Amino acid sequence: MTTGATGNLRCLAVADQATAPSAVENKPAPAVLIECRRVELLAESAGQVFPWIGPAVRGVVARRFKERVCSQPVAEQFDRWRYCRGCPRQNLCGYGVTYESADANGDEGSRAVVITPTFPLETSLVPGSRFALNITAIGATAASHLDELTAAITASGQQPGLGPDRIRFRPLGAAMVAQRRLLVAADFRLPGDVGDSCDIHLRLTGPLFLRVRCGSKRSPLVQPPPFDRLLATSMRSVRRFCGRALPDLPFLHDEVLQVARGARLYDARAWPFQQSRASNRSQQSWKLQGVCGEFIYTGVPRAVLPWLEVAGILHVGDHRVAGAGGWELNETVAPRPWLRPRSPR
């Protein structure tokens, strides 16, 4: 968790509401609920897996989840209603409002549940191997279906199992609530005095898939992102999920970037990520390319830390719903042994 950046954010032990108290006449202020749960899992059979099992886990859980909650005829669930598009019951269905939620433009990046597996995972699992899933629900509607989703995770561990080897797994106890938060616009407003800056240590919890423009094409980013790119991407993720409920957010984009223009990448321990991916639903396969590791940025104004911290919980970039593009963020007060100063960028 972030140290030094969470003071402006409301960390709730118990909450399931879409409003927060307002300083003006105690009227409810618009708010966005984020709830995170953690499930510890135990492998019960052996097999091979990729280091990043995000797509595989999301896929096997999806089928069991849909079978358990979809009210359409069984024969049509994975045919006519494969993508839930046009389903009149979608907004009343736990699967529809989590796995298939999208914005008005059909943006899949707006889906309201992220499942993040342990990364990197040992590629050979044996009975007794342990790993975990962190499940993040964005919004009170998605959070209200987390019990159904965790039940589907338990069911998917027995049938069909994980990966080509159909590795069976089971939960080690009930899912634990890792955190609940209410986000309000005031969490992200810049103070009149921006204040001092700091160095931050950002550790990716999975691969990061961003793209950079090279002429007329967009190519995968396979190196640590410059700070301005990271911040702009973070702000897009926060605005995507919070912009409608918190209308003040869209107007801060240029202001925040201007404040953070002096921040830069100090050093990184990073490596390119490559892995193949196949989709049973679409019957397509492709190669994933991104970056993994941890980065140090210097000269970061503390006023922008809430944007970065929340974006790390929401996840950013491609394949975010399978756990890519998330991170843990901490202030750092001294260079780590592997750091070497770089020229400003």
Q: What CATH number is attached to the domain comprising 121?
A: 3.30.70.1890
The predicted structure's pLDDT at residue 265 = 93
Closest CA to 277 of 246, 339, 322: 322
HSE, CB side, 13 Å, CA atoms: give it for residue 38.
9
Task: For residue 286, give every residue at least 6 positions away whose Cβ sits within 8 Å of its Cβ, in sequence order, or none.
Answer: 276, 277
- Last residue of some domain: 181, 204, 223? 181
- d(CA 345, CA 263) in angstroms, rounded, equals 9
Q: Which two tokens stand for residue 204?
A: 């990716």
Same structural domain, 224 and 302? yes
pLDDT at residue 125, rounded to an integer: 96
Same domain, 106 and 211: no
Q: Check whether residue 46 and residue 111 sit in a common domain.
A: yes
Q: How many domains is the chain partitioned into structurally?
A: 2
Same domain, 196 and 327: yes
HEC profile of 134-168: EEEEECHHHHCCHHHHHHHHHHHCCCCCECCCCEC
Query: What pLDDT is recorded for position 103?
Result: 56
> What confidence category does residue 1 fall into, taking pLDDT thresholds of 50, 70 and 90?
very low
Residue 341 lies in a domain: no
DSSP 175: P
On whether both 46 and 109 belong to a single domain, the answer is yes
Stretch 135-164: mean pLDDT: 92
The answer to whether residue 314 sits within a structural domain is: yes
Rg (CA), the chain: 20
Task: Tell whether 15 is covered by a domain.
Answer: no
For position 312, what pLDDT does the model report? 97
User: In the structure, what pLDDT confidence band is assigned to residue 217 with cuts at 50, 70 and 90?
Assistant: confident
The Cα 114–Cα 29 span in angstroms is 26
Domain that holds residue 117: 33-181
What is the per-residue pLDDT for 159?
A: 85
Report the sign of the C-alpha dihedral through residues 5, 10, 14, 19, in that order.
negative
CA distance 45 to 19: 45
Number of Cβ within a 10 Å radius of residue 155: 16
Domain identity same for 218 and 171: no
pTM attached to this predicted model: 0.85
The region that residue 179 occupies, defined by phi over 0 for left and psi between -120 and 50 for alpha, beta otherwise, is beta
Same domain, 251 and 147: no
pLDDT in tens, 186-210: 888 887 777 789 999 999 999 999 9
287 found inside a domain: yes
Mean pLDDT in residue range 30-56: 95
Is the Cβ–Cβ distance between 162 and 50 less than 8 Å?
Answer: no
- Is 67 in the same domain as 114? yes
Find out whether 275 and 51 touch, Cβ atoms under 8 Å: yes
pLDDT for residue 248: 72
CATH number at residue 304: 3.30.70.1900
pLDDT confidence bin for 105, thresholds 50/70/90: very low
Query: Considering only 51-60, 79-88, 146-155, which range has the smallest mean pLDDT?
Result: 79-88
Instruction: Name the nearest CA neighbour of 34 among 52, 51, 46, 17.
Output: 17
Whether residues 39 and 170 share a domain: the answer is yes
Are residues 202 and 144 part of one domain?
no
Q: Would you say residue 134 lies in a domain?
A: yes
Claim to verify: residue 294 and residue 196 sit in the same structural domain = yes
Instruction: Show which of 138, 159, 181 is a domain's final residue.
Output: 181
Q: How many CB atoms lie within 10 A of CB 156?
A: 22
- Cα separation, 72 vs 208, in Å, equals 36
Which pLDDT band holds residue 338 (cuts at 50, 70, 90)? low
17 belongs to a structural domain: no
205 located within any domain: yes
Q: Do 52 and 122 share a domain, yes or no?
A: yes
pLDDT band with cut points at 50, 70 and 90 for residue 109: low
Pick the last residue of a domain from 151, 181, 211: 181
Q: What is the rounded average pLDDT for all residues in the chain?
A: 84
Question: Which residue from 289, 272, 324, 302 is spatially nearest to 109, judged by alpha carbons?
Answer: 324
Report strand pairing: 284-301 vs 197-204.
Answer: antiparallel
Nearest to 260 by CA among 195, 179, 187: 195
**Residues 4-37: pLDDT tens digits?**
444 344 433 333 335 555 544 566 678 999 999 9
Cα(111)–Cα(315) distance, integer angstroms = 11
* The token pair that represents 17 in the structure block: 């509401």
Helix (H, G, I), strand (E, B) or coil at 328: strand
Is residue 42 included in any domain, yes or no? yes
